[in-house]
Structure 1
């Protein structure tokens, strides 16, 4: 059985509507703060795709009003499940900031409660990453970098602690904490924690946004690199794989 849902959020952003539009309605813009590698055919009725770790999800543009409104919708699965996203941009007086309203809706499957809870808790994190991007890297295009490790039998807390220790913390990351990581084949990572909760963490450096997602038996990375990125994805995957179990 499917279950309808709707999530609505609002985020003030330190950017004008044109900059916000470029971030939420173009492939390179979405690559710079959200998940995966994205392509957007920039017109109503255009194709949209997101590829993450070998998995591809396709959608279609259902609204395209530059600087104001952008919406997409996935095709319905055999059981009727689908996802729809609507972004509404409103410029603030003075033109240097905007408010972004996001509505995520659709139909979820039998495990709808867990999936809804994950979506609901994830959106504030993603909008915070968007704000970090526009505040510190506006006008630059990030290279998305993905990593995944399955830790069978490990709790979420154990996975979170392993990542925290690899970044130089004792047990937990905290906002404002300076962190350091040595990734073989890449320059050292030196940055500051800009988000930390039980499930997710984000680190900002001079040339990147590094995000870590922690669950029971699994760790996922979605990084956005604004400097040199050659070889970064396999290097970060090797770093994640080498963390003590």
Structure 2
């Protein structure tokens, strides 16, 4: 049964509004996946076939899709309102994700809501620590055996994270090829783990809660970063985790 949804979040970040605007309208892959930037006008084409319905730099940006193409969603809208704080040194952001889910409403809403929290946290990490450095993006998924609610715990153990390693903890984690990565655990709950190194944001998505395999995205800001190398290395690492589990 089709039903509308709305997910609203508000937050502040220690960068000027112009930097938030740049991050959410250029689609570099700094905190999400790479995407085509919107045509800079109301009525222009937005990412993934959407239409720009509001364009007021650096204060308001909205895009809307009415033929999403997903079997469980028919309408999708993303709306950003950005206002200055502290004489323009900081920004206040109101983000609204809305639309229509056509099936499995509770599960879809729960997944979208929890993913929103993680994506917006990653946006703030990107703005605070890395923007506007160029980024190399890679993403990958685990095998079918990682589509369980226990998958993220297995990843945390493979990384060498203590069970009580909460957000803000510094850790030496076990990465691909036996390498040790010095990182900060910048996000952790039963659904997601976020790691921040000097040159990267590495995100782990425990999507087994919603019936999907575990995912990883790597936002690499090192000058010599190679997306294929990152993808292959982390894919081998992830496959190894679930071949042992």
TM over 0.5: yes
Give the corresponding residue for 2:94.
Answer: 101
**Would you tell me which structure has more strand in proportion to its own residues?**
1
Tell me how far apart the structure 2 counterparts of residues 169 and 14 of structure 1 sit (CA, whole Å).
29
Aligned CA distance change for structure 1 residues 69 and 169 (closer, same or farther; 3 Å) = same
Count of aligned pairs: 233
Cα distance, 1:215 vs structure 2: 3.0
Select 1:200's aligned residue among 192, 198, 209: 192
Indicate the residue corresponding to 2:39 in structure 1: 42
Partner Cα separation in structure 1 for residue 107 and residue 54 of structure 2: 29
Report the CA distance shift for 1:143/1:75 in structure 2 as closer, same or farther (over 3 A): farther
SS in structure 1 of the partner of residue 202 of structure 2: strand
What does the per-residue CA deviation read over 1:60-119, in whole Å, with 9 as the maximum and x for residues that have no partner?
222211111111112325887110000000001222110010111111012111101111
Shift of residue 150, structure 1, vs aligned partner? 2.8
Gaps of 5+ in 2: none
> 1:242, CA displacement in angstroms?
1.5
Distance 1:13 1:195 in 2: 16
- Contact 2:25/2:38 (8 A) holds in 1: no
CA distance in 2, matches of 1:139, 1:166: 32
Please provide the CA RMSD for this pair. Answer: 2.2
Q: Aligned in 2, Cα 1:223/1:153: closer, same or farther, shift over 3 Å? A: closer
Q: 1:192 to 1:100 in 2, by over 3 A?
A: same
Unpaired runs of 5+ residues, structure 1, are 50-56
User: After superposition, where does 1:92-131 map in structure 2 within 5 Å?
Assistant: 92-131=85-124
Secondary structure, counterpart of 1:25 in structure 2: helix
Match of 1:68 in 2: 59
CA offset digits 1:118-154 (Å, max 9, x no partner): 1112212111111111111122132221010134386
**CA distance, structure 2, for counterparts of residue 237 and residue 12 of structure 1:** 35
In structure 2, relative to structure 1, the CA distance for the partners of 1:187 and 1:170 (3 Å cut) is closer
